[in-house]
A and B are shown apart, each in its own frame.
Chain A
Amino acid sequence: MKMKLDSFELRTKNEFDMINITERVHKFVEESGIEEGMVYVMTAHTTTSIIVNESLPCLETDIEEKLEEMVPKDAQYAHNHFLPSYGATGGNCPGHLKSMLCNYFAYFPVKDGKVVRGRAQEIYFAEFDGIQDRTVYMQVVGE
Protein backbone atom coordinates (compact mmCIF):
# COMPACT_ATOMS: atom_id res chain seq x y z
CA MET A 1 0.00 0.00 0.00
CA LYS A 2 1.22 3.49 -0.85
CA MET A 3 0.36 6.75 0.86
CA LYS A 4 0.94 10.35 -0.13
CA LEU A 5 0.22 13.48 1.88
CA ASP A 6 0.15 17.02 0.51
CA SER A 7 -1.25 20.40 1.49
CA PHE A 8 -2.00 23.79 0.00
CA GLU A 9 -2.73 27.29 1.27
CA LEU A 10 -5.77 29.47 0.68
CA ARG A 11 -6.51 33.09 1.48
CA THR A 12 -10.20 33.56 2.19
CA LYS A 13 -11.88 36.78 1.13
CA ASN A 14 -14.77 37.18 3.58
CA GLU A 15 -15.99 36.11 6.99
CA PHE A 16 -18.01 33.48 5.08
CA ASP A 17 -16.42 32.12 1.95
CA MET A 18 -16.81 28.99 -0.17
CA ILE A 19 -13.90 28.10 -2.43
CA ASN A 20 -14.20 25.27 -4.92
CA ILE A 21 -11.14 23.03 -4.54
CA THR A 22 -12.33 20.09 -6.66
CA GLU A 23 -9.70 20.49 -9.36
CA ARG A 24 -6.88 20.66 -6.83
CA VAL A 25 -7.96 17.34 -5.31
CA HIS A 26 -8.25 15.74 -8.74
CA LYS A 27 -4.80 16.94 -9.75
CA PHE A 28 -3.26 15.67 -6.53
CA VAL A 29 -4.74 12.20 -6.98
CA GLU A 30 -3.87 11.98 -10.66
CA GLU A 31 -0.27 12.92 -10.00
CA SER A 32 0.07 10.57 -7.01
CA GLY A 33 0.51 7.40 -9.09
CA ILE A 34 -2.09 5.61 -6.98
CA GLU A 35 -4.65 3.79 -9.11
CA GLU A 36 -7.00 2.17 -6.60
CA GLY A 37 -7.70 3.44 -3.10
CA MET A 38 -9.16 6.47 -1.37
CA VAL A 39 -8.46 10.16 -0.82
CA TYR A 40 -9.16 12.25 2.25
CA VAL A 41 -9.39 16.05 2.19
CA MET A 42 -9.13 17.78 5.55
CA THR A 43 -9.10 21.37 6.75
CA ALA A 44 -6.44 22.17 9.34
CA HIS A 45 -8.74 24.57 11.23
CA THR A 46 -11.66 24.50 13.62
CA THR A 47 -13.67 27.37 12.13
CA THR A 48 -13.70 26.01 8.57
CA SER A 49 -15.10 22.94 6.83
CA ILE A 50 -14.80 20.74 3.79
CA ILE A 51 -18.24 20.70 2.19
CA VAL A 52 -19.42 18.53 -0.69
CA ASN A 53 -22.34 19.98 -2.63
CA GLU A 54 -23.54 21.18 -6.00
CA SER A 55 -21.71 24.23 -7.29
CA LEU A 56 -24.50 26.75 -7.77
CA PRO A 57 -24.43 30.35 -6.49
CA CYS A 58 -28.02 29.98 -5.23
CA LEU A 59 -27.05 26.98 -3.11
CA GLU A 60 -23.98 28.77 -1.78
CA THR A 61 -26.30 31.62 -0.71
CA ASP A 62 -28.72 29.17 0.93
CA ILE A 63 -25.91 27.43 2.78
CA GLU A 64 -24.60 30.76 4.06
CA GLU A 65 -28.00 32.09 5.10
CA LYS A 66 -29.22 28.88 6.73
CA LEU A 67 -26.02 28.50 8.73
CA GLU A 68 -26.30 32.13 9.86
CA GLU A 69 -29.89 31.50 10.90
CA MET A 70 -28.88 28.41 12.87
CA VAL A 71 -25.79 30.00 14.43
CA PRO A 72 -26.35 33.77 14.48
CA LYS A 73 -23.37 36.07 14.80
CA ASP A 74 -24.92 38.19 17.55
CA ALA A 75 -26.15 35.45 19.89
CA GLN A 76 -24.69 34.84 23.35
CA TYR A 77 -21.90 32.26 23.45
CA ALA A 78 -19.85 30.89 26.34
CA HIS A 79 -16.75 31.26 24.15
CA ASN A 80 -17.06 35.07 24.27
CA HIS A 81 -14.53 35.73 26.99
CA PHE A 82 -10.85 36.46 27.38
CA LEU A 83 -8.65 33.44 26.65
CA PRO A 84 -5.35 33.81 28.54
CA SER A 85 -3.61 31.16 26.43
CA TYR A 86 -4.27 33.22 23.29
CA GLY A 87 -3.98 36.61 24.91
CA ALA A 88 -7.16 37.44 23.02
CA THR A 89 -10.92 37.39 23.42
CA GLY A 90 -12.81 34.57 21.76
CA GLY A 91 -15.30 36.11 19.35
CA ASN A 92 -15.59 33.39 16.74
CA CYS A 93 -17.88 30.82 18.31
CA PRO A 94 -20.27 30.89 15.31
CA GLY A 95 -17.35 29.77 13.16
CA HIS A 96 -16.62 26.84 15.48
CA LEU A 97 -20.26 25.73 15.52
CA LYS A 98 -20.68 26.03 11.75
CA SER A 99 -17.52 23.99 11.34
CA MET A 100 -18.97 21.32 13.61
CA LEU A 101 -22.21 21.26 11.61
CA CYS A 102 -20.45 20.95 8.24
CA ASN A 103 -17.61 18.60 9.20
CA TYR A 104 -13.89 19.01 8.75
CA PHE A 105 -13.14 16.41 6.07
CA ALA A 106 -14.46 14.58 3.06
CA TYR A 107 -13.58 11.17 1.62
CA PHE A 108 -13.74 9.87 -1.96
CA PRO A 109 -12.85 6.55 -3.56
CA VAL A 110 -10.05 6.46 -6.12
CA LYS A 111 -10.44 4.19 -9.15
CA ASP A 112 -8.24 3.97 -12.25
CA GLY A 113 -6.14 6.83 -10.88
CA LYS A 114 -9.07 9.26 -10.64
CA VAL A 115 -11.36 10.60 -7.92
CA VAL A 116 -14.78 8.96 -7.92
CA ARG A 117 -17.61 11.38 -7.20
CA GLY A 118 -21.17 12.06 -8.24
CA ARG A 119 -21.89 14.38 -11.16
CA ALA A 120 -23.05 17.23 -8.92
CA GLN A 121 -20.56 16.68 -6.12
CA GLU A 122 -18.09 19.53 -5.93
CA ILE A 123 -15.56 19.88 -3.12
CA TYR A 124 -15.53 23.19 -1.28
CA PHE A 125 -13.31 24.70 1.34
CA ALA A 126 -15.72 26.66 3.55
CA GLU A 127 -14.58 29.58 5.68
CA PHE A 128 -16.65 30.69 8.68
CA ASP A 129 -14.16 33.04 10.39
CA GLY A 130 -12.39 34.90 7.59
CA ILE A 131 -10.42 36.73 6.42
CA GLN A 132 -7.52 34.35 7.04
CA ASP A 133 -4.79 32.27 5.46
CA ARG A 134 -5.80 28.62 5.63
CA THR A 135 -4.30 25.17 5.04
CA VAL A 136 -5.94 22.14 3.46
CA TYR A 137 -4.44 18.62 3.71
CA MET A 138 -5.00 15.84 1.20
CA GLN A 139 -3.95 12.25 1.68
CA VAL A 140 -4.32 9.53 -0.89
CA VAL A 141 -3.95 5.88 0.19
CA GLY A 142 -3.95 2.77 -2.05
CA GLU A 143 -2.09 0.78 -4.64
Chain B
Amino acid sequence: MVIDVHTHAEFMEPMYKGDEVTRQRKEIMGREFLGYCDISMALFQMDHAGIDKRVLLPLDLTTQYGCTIVSNDEMKELVGEAPERFIGFASVDPYREDAVKELDHAFGELGLSGLKLNPSKQKFYPTDSIMKPVYEKCIEYGKPILFHCGTSWEPNTPAKYSKPLCFEEVAIEYPELRIGLAHFGWPWVQDTAMMLLKYPNVYADTSMLYCDRAKDFFHQIFKVDLSPLWIENMFSDKVMFGSNSPRFGEEDMKYGLEKLGLRERTLAKVLGGNAMKFLGMED
Protein backbone atom coordinates (compact mmCIF):
# COMPACT_ATOMS: atom_id res chain seq x y z
CA MET B 1 0.00 0.00 0.00
CA VAL B 2 1.48 3.32 -1.10
CA ILE B 3 -0.04 6.42 0.51
CA ASP B 4 0.84 10.03 -0.23
CA VAL B 5 -0.03 11.77 3.05
CA HIS B 6 0.41 15.33 1.81
CA THR B 7 -1.50 16.58 -1.24
CA HIS B 8 -3.50 19.75 -1.65
CA ALA B 9 -7.12 19.55 -2.67
CA GLU B 10 -7.90 23.08 -3.83
CA PHE B 11 -6.88 22.64 -7.45
CA MET B 12 -8.84 19.49 -8.14
CA GLU B 13 -11.53 20.37 -10.65
CA PRO B 14 -14.65 19.83 -8.50
CA MET B 15 -13.26 22.59 -6.27
CA TYR B 16 -13.46 25.16 -9.07
CA LYS B 17 -15.87 27.73 -7.66
CA GLY B 18 -15.41 30.52 -10.18
CA ASP B 19 -12.57 32.72 -11.29
CA GLU B 20 -12.65 35.07 -8.31
CA VAL B 21 -12.45 32.26 -5.76
CA THR B 22 -9.62 30.73 -7.78
CA ARG B 23 -7.75 34.00 -7.95
CA GLN B 24 -8.10 34.46 -4.20
CA ARG B 25 -7.00 30.91 -3.42
CA LYS B 26 -3.97 31.17 -5.68
CA GLU B 27 -2.98 34.46 -4.10
CA ILE B 28 -3.43 33.20 -0.55
CA MET B 29 -1.55 29.95 -1.21
CA GLY B 30 1.15 31.46 -3.45
CA ARG B 31 0.47 29.20 -6.44
CA GLU B 32 -0.12 31.68 -9.22
CA PHE B 33 0.53 29.47 -12.26
CA LEU B 34 -0.89 26.17 -11.10
CA GLY B 35 -4.06 25.05 -12.88
CA TYR B 36 -6.90 22.68 -12.13
CA CYS B 37 -6.64 18.93 -12.49
CA ASP B 38 -9.73 16.84 -13.10
CA ILE B 39 -10.41 13.70 -11.09
CA SER B 40 -9.73 11.29 -13.95
CA MET B 41 -6.32 12.91 -14.51
CA ALA B 42 -5.51 12.76 -10.78
CA LEU B 43 -6.35 9.06 -10.66
CA PHE B 44 -4.40 8.38 -13.84
CA GLN B 45 -1.34 10.15 -12.40
CA MET B 46 -1.67 8.13 -9.19
CA ASP B 47 -1.90 4.87 -11.13
CA HIS B 48 1.12 5.76 -13.22
CA ALA B 49 3.14 6.64 -10.11
CA GLY B 50 2.05 3.51 -8.25
CA ILE B 51 0.21 5.42 -5.54
CA ASP B 52 -2.82 3.73 -4.00
CA LYS B 53 -4.20 6.54 -1.88
CA ARG B 54 -3.81 10.27 -1.44
CA VAL B 55 -4.51 12.27 1.69
CA LEU B 56 -6.28 15.47 0.56
CA LEU B 57 -5.66 18.51 2.73
CA PRO B 58 -7.81 21.62 3.20
CA LEU B 59 -7.18 24.72 5.31
CA ASP B 60 -9.64 26.82 7.28
CA LEU B 61 -8.60 30.48 7.17
CA THR B 62 -11.88 31.98 8.35
CA THR B 63 -10.49 34.56 10.77
CA GLN B 64 -7.33 35.43 8.82
CA TYR B 65 -8.76 35.65 5.29
CA GLY B 66 -12.51 35.14 5.63
CA CYS B 67 -12.48 31.93 3.63
CA THR B 68 -11.53 28.28 3.55
CA ILE B 69 -9.11 26.65 1.14
CA VAL B 70 -11.61 23.82 0.63
CA SER B 71 -14.21 23.56 3.37
CA ASN B 72 -14.89 20.37 5.31
CA ASP B 73 -18.15 19.86 3.43
CA GLU B 74 -16.38 20.36 0.10
CA MET B 75 -13.79 17.83 1.23
CA LYS B 76 -16.50 15.27 1.85
CA GLU B 77 -17.79 15.92 -1.68
CA LEU B 78 -14.30 15.53 -3.13
CA VAL B 79 -13.60 12.25 -1.33
CA GLY B 80 -16.91 10.99 -2.69
CA GLU B 81 -15.47 11.25 -6.21
CA ALA B 82 -13.09 8.35 -5.46
CA PRO B 83 -13.60 7.11 -1.90
CA GLU B 84 -11.32 4.12 -2.39
CA ARG B 85 -8.43 6.40 -3.44
CA PHE B 86 -8.89 9.66 -1.51
CA ILE B 87 -8.54 10.18 2.24
CA GLY B 88 -10.01 13.52 3.25
CA PHE B 89 -8.75 15.57 6.16
CA ALA B 90 -10.66 18.32 7.92
CA SER B 91 -9.40 21.73 8.89
CA VAL B 92 -10.63 24.16 11.48
CA ASP B 93 -9.56 27.67 12.35
CA PRO B 94 -8.89 27.42 16.10
CA TYR B 95 -9.95 31.05 16.55
CA ARG B 96 -13.48 30.29 15.37
CA GLU B 97 -15.96 30.33 18.22
CA ASP B 98 -17.53 27.19 16.79
CA ALA B 99 -14.23 25.40 16.20
CA VAL B 100 -15.07 22.38 18.33
CA LYS B 101 -18.59 22.15 16.91
CA GLU B 102 -17.13 22.23 13.39
CA LEU B 103 -14.71 19.46 14.31
CA ASP B 104 -17.58 17.37 15.64
CA HIS B 105 -19.32 17.94 12.31
CA ALA B 106 -16.19 17.06 10.30
CA PHE B 107 -15.37 13.88 12.20
CA GLY B 108 -18.79 12.76 13.42
CA GLU B 109 -21.03 13.62 10.45
CA LEU B 110 -18.68 13.92 7.49
CA GLY B 111 -16.38 11.09 8.55
CA LEU B 112 -13.17 12.92 7.65
CA SER B 113 -9.97 11.12 8.58
CA GLY B 114 -7.76 13.64 10.36
CA LEU B 115 -7.07 17.31 10.92
CA LYS B 116 -4.77 19.65 8.99
CA LEU B 117 -3.50 22.77 10.73
CA ASN B 118 -0.97 25.37 9.66
CA PRO B 119 0.16 27.40 12.69
CA SER B 120 2.13 29.83 10.49
CA LYS B 121 -0.82 30.62 8.24
CA GLN B 122 -3.49 30.41 10.93
CA LYS B 123 -1.33 32.38 13.38
CA PHE B 124 -1.32 30.31 16.54
CA TYR B 125 1.31 28.61 18.63
CA PRO B 126 0.70 24.89 19.07
CA THR B 127 0.83 25.35 22.83
CA ASP B 128 -1.82 28.13 22.90
CA SER B 129 -4.64 27.38 25.33
CA ILE B 130 -7.21 27.69 22.51
CA MET B 131 -5.79 24.47 21.11
CA LYS B 132 -6.67 22.32 24.11
CA PRO B 133 -10.28 21.53 23.04
CA VAL B 134 -9.11 20.91 19.49
CA TYR B 135 -6.56 18.35 20.64
CA GLU B 136 -9.05 16.74 22.99
CA LYS B 137 -11.62 16.42 20.20
CA CYS B 138 -9.04 14.69 17.96
CA ILE B 139 -8.22 12.27 20.77
CA GLU B 140 -11.91 11.63 21.38
CA TYR B 141 -12.37 10.59 17.73
CA GLY B 142 -8.93 8.93 17.43
CA LYS B 143 -7.96 11.24 14.57
CA PRO B 144 -4.39 12.39 13.82
CA ILE B 145 -3.26 15.96 13.20
CA LEU B 146 -0.93 16.87 10.37
CA PHE B 147 0.72 20.18 11.25
CA HIS B 148 2.50 22.33 8.74
CA CYS B 149 6.06 22.39 10.10
CA GLY B 150 9.13 24.37 9.04
CA THR B 151 9.33 26.80 6.18
CA SER B 152 6.35 27.66 3.99
CA TRP B 153 6.31 29.29 0.57
CA GLU B 154 2.84 30.61 1.16
CA PRO B 155 2.72 34.39 1.76
CA ASN B 156 2.39 35.67 5.33
CA THR B 157 3.62 32.54 7.10
CA PRO B 158 6.16 33.37 9.84
CA ALA B 159 8.17 30.27 10.69
CA LYS B 160 8.21 31.10 14.40
CA TYR B 161 4.84 29.36 14.82
CA SER B 162 5.85 26.16 13.10
CA LYS B 163 9.38 25.15 14.04
CA PRO B 164 9.57 21.49 15.09
CA LEU B 165 10.24 22.30 18.73
CA CYS B 166 7.00 24.32 18.89
CA PHE B 167 5.22 20.94 18.97
CA GLU B 168 7.27 19.31 21.74
CA GLU B 169 5.03 20.24 24.64
CA VAL B 170 1.97 19.10 22.69
CA ALA B 171 3.63 15.72 22.18
CA ILE B 172 4.36 15.53 25.91
CA GLU B 173 0.95 16.68 27.11
CA TYR B 174 -1.06 14.54 24.67
CA PRO B 175 0.83 11.24 24.27
CA GLU B 176 -2.25 9.58 22.78
CA LEU B 177 -2.53 12.20 20.01
CA ARG B 178 -0.85 11.17 16.75
CA ILE B 179 1.09 14.20 15.49
CA GLY B 180 2.48 14.55 11.99
CA LEU B 181 5.15 17.15 11.27
CA ALA B 182 4.82 18.05 7.60
CA HIS B 183 7.76 18.89 5.35
CA PHE B 184 10.06 17.15 7.85
CA GLY B 185 10.24 20.58 9.49
CA TRP B 186 12.74 21.77 6.88
CA PRO B 187 15.20 23.38 7.36
CA TRP B 188 15.15 22.32 11.02
CA VAL B 189 15.56 18.65 10.16
CA GLN B 190 17.83 17.91 13.14
CA ASP B 191 15.09 19.17 15.47
CA THR B 192 12.56 16.98 13.66
CA ALA B 193 14.90 14.01 14.09
CA MET B 194 14.93 14.65 17.83
CA MET B 195 11.12 14.78 17.92
CA LEU B 196 10.87 11.50 16.04
CA LEU B 197 13.40 9.82 18.31
CA LYS B 198 11.96 11.00 21.56
CA TYR B 199 8.18 10.93 21.12
CA PRO B 200 6.39 7.75 20.02
CA ASN B 201 3.34 9.74 18.90
CA VAL B 202 5.26 11.99 16.49
CA TYR B 203 5.65 11.29 12.76
CA ALA B 204 7.07 13.37 9.89
CA ASP B 205 6.34 13.50 6.18
CA THR B 206 8.74 13.99 3.29
CA SER B 207 6.94 16.79 1.48
CA MET B 208 10.03 18.99 1.17
CA LEU B 209 11.69 20.10 -2.06
CA TYR B 210 13.07 23.58 -1.94
CA CYS B 211 16.16 23.15 -4.12
CA ASP B 212 17.44 20.54 -6.59
CA ARG B 213 15.38 17.57 -7.77
CA ALA B 214 13.72 15.26 -5.28
CA LYS B 215 16.38 12.57 -5.70
CA ASP B 216 19.21 15.01 -4.89
CA PHE B 217 17.32 16.83 -2.17
CA PHE B 218 16.37 13.64 -0.32
CA HIS B 219 19.96 12.43 -0.59
CA GLN B 220 21.14 15.67 0.99
CA ILE B 221 18.61 15.44 3.84
CA PHE B 222 18.68 11.72 4.63
CA LYS B 223 22.29 10.89 3.76
CA VAL B 224 24.22 14.09 4.50
CA ASP B 225 22.34 16.43 6.85
CA LEU B 226 21.23 13.42 8.86
CA SER B 227 23.46 10.38 9.29
CA PRO B 228 22.91 7.84 6.46
CA LEU B 229 21.67 5.13 8.81
CA TRP B 230 19.29 7.18 10.92
CA ILE B 231 16.24 6.66 8.71
CA GLU B 232 16.96 2.89 8.71
CA ASN B 233 17.94 2.42 12.32
CA MET B 234 16.31 5.22 14.26
CA PHE B 235 13.05 6.31 12.66
CA SER B 236 12.07 3.77 10.03
CA ASP B 237 8.64 3.63 11.72
CA LYS B 238 8.14 7.41 11.71
CA VAL B 239 8.79 8.82 8.24
CA MET B 240 5.86 8.99 5.79
CA PHE B 241 5.85 9.65 2.07
CA GLY B 242 4.31 13.03 1.33
CA SER B 243 4.67 14.91 -1.94
CA ASN B 244 3.03 18.31 -1.40
CA SER B 245 1.42 17.81 -4.81
CA PRO B 246 0.68 19.88 -6.88
CA ARG B 247 3.52 22.05 -5.58
CA PHE B 248 5.95 19.20 -6.17
CA GLY B 249 5.46 16.29 -8.57
CA GLU B 250 4.10 13.22 -6.80
CA GLU B 251 5.85 10.70 -9.05
CA ASP B 252 9.18 12.47 -8.87
CA MET B 253 9.01 12.69 -5.07
CA LYS B 254 8.34 8.97 -4.82
CA TYR B 255 11.19 8.26 -7.24
CA GLY B 256 13.51 10.34 -5.03
CA LEU B 257 12.68 8.20 -2.00
CA GLU B 258 13.07 4.98 -3.97
CA LYS B 259 16.57 6.08 -4.98
CA LEU B 260 17.73 6.51 -1.38
CA GLY B 261 18.85 2.89 -1.31
CA LEU B 262 16.75 1.97 1.72
CA ARG B 263 16.11 -1.62 2.68
CA GLU B 264 12.99 -2.92 0.98
CA ARG B 265 11.06 -3.21 4.22
CA THR B 266 12.06 0.29 5.29
CA LEU B 267 10.98 1.73 1.95
CA ALA B 268 7.63 -0.06 2.25
CA LYS B 269 7.10 1.53 5.66
CA VAL B 270 8.03 4.98 4.38
CA LEU B 271 5.81 4.69 1.31
CA GLY B 272 2.74 3.51 3.15
CA GLY B 273 3.10 1.38 6.27
CA ASN B 274 3.84 4.29 8.55
CA ALA B 275 0.99 6.31 7.07
CA MET B 276 -1.39 3.46 7.85
CA LYS B 277 -0.35 3.64 11.52
CA PHE B 278 -0.58 7.43 11.57
CA LEU B 279 -4.02 7.39 9.96
CA GLY B 280 -5.29 4.68 12.26
CA MET B 281 -5.84 2.24 9.38
CA GLU B 282 -4.12 -0.59 11.24
CA ASP B 283 -5.93 -2.81 13.73
- Chain A positions within 8 Å of B, measured between CB atoms, are 11, 13-15, 74, 76-77, 80-82, 84-89, 91-92, 131, 133
Contact = CB atoms under 8 A, between A and B. Distances in A.
B213 A133 contact: no
A11 B43 CA distance: 13
A87 B34 contact: yes
Contact of B210 (A11, A86, A89): A89
B31 interface: yes
A91 B249 contact: yes
Given A14-B48, A131-B44, A131-B48, A87 B31 contact: yes
A86 B32 CA distance: 6
A82 B213 contact: no
B270 to A, nearest CB: 20
A87 B32 contact: yes
Interface of B: 29-34, 41, 44-45, 48, 153-154, 209-216, 246-249, 251-252
A15 B215 CA distance: 17
Contacts of B48: 13-14, 131
B248 A89 contact: yes
A89 B30 contact: no
Contact of A74 (B29, B153, B215): B215
Given A80-B211, A87-B33, 12 more contacts: A11-B44, A74-B215, A80-B212, A86-B31, A86-B34, A88-B33, A88-B34, A88-B248, A89-B248, A91-B248, A91-B249, A92-B249
B45 A131 contact: yes
Nearest to A93: B213
